[in-house]
């Protein structure tokens, strides 16, 4: 698995497909209906509802295009479960000099969410972990300086 690749998990793929289905179906129809209503109000040059709806339509179409691009270009991975850290791996790390342990899942950049413990394989921390094994110590540059973590477990 290439550490620089664009990856998504099966769960993320399903979530994106559901979002795309919703955006292309009900959401698109809703915006088109709103656009028709706004047109019926008259003079389009000073029609705030019309301009707002056109802006919403642009954002919707942009999101549809982005999701389609992700689904076409990303490699879907089952991930995790091995001894070597890769996309989908769950990793327990301990910051050197502390007893504090943290659990992270390595995911593609589209799924990264630090609040949920999902870190991107493109982040400095994710890149430092990628390809390593249980027991190894990793170092990476954080905004606060060089940080060292010991890998406690990989699953």
Per CATH, the architecture of 7-76 is what?
A: Orthogonal Bundle (1.10)
CA–CA distances in Å: residue 11 to residues 8, 107, 111, 148, 154: 8, 11, 10, 31, 20
How confident is the prediction along the chain (155 residues), in pLDDT tens digits per residue?
566 667 888 888 999 999 999 999 999 999 999 999 888 887 777 888 889 999 999 999 999 999 999 999 888 887 666 788 988 889 999 998 888 899 999 988 888 998 999 999 889 999 999 889 999 999 988 888 888 999 999 98
Q: How far is CA 2 from CA 16, 40, 146, 149, in A?
A: 23, 54, 25, 22
pTM (2 d.p.): 0.73
CB atoms within 10 A of CB 105: 20
**Could you tell me where in the chain the CATH 1.10.287.180 domains are found?**
7-76
Q: Where in the chain is the domain with CATH 3.10.50.30?
A: 79-154
Q: How far apart are the C-alpha atoms of 35 and 29, rounded to whole Å?
A: 10
CATH class of 79-154: alpha beta
């Amino acid at each position: 698995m290439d550490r620089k690749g664009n990856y998504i998990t099966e769960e993320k793929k399903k979530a994106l497909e559901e979002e795309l289905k919703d955006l292309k179906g009900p959401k698109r129809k809703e915006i088109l209906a709103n656009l028709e209503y706004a047109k019926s109000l008259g003079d389009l040059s000073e029609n705030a509802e019309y301009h707002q709806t056109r802006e919403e339509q642009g954002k919707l179409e942009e999101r549809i295009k982005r999701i389609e691009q992700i689904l076409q270009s990303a490699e879907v991975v089952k991930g995790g479960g091995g001894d070597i850290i890769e996309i989908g791996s769950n990793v327990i790390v301990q910051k050197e000099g502390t007893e504090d342990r943290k659990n992270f899942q390595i995911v593609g950049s589209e799924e990264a969410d630090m609040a949920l413990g999902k870190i991107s394989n493109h982040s400095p921390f994710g890149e430092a972990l990628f390809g390593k094994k249980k027991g190894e110590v990793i170092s990476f540059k954080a905004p606060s300086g060089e940080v060292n973590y010991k890998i406690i477990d990989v699953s």
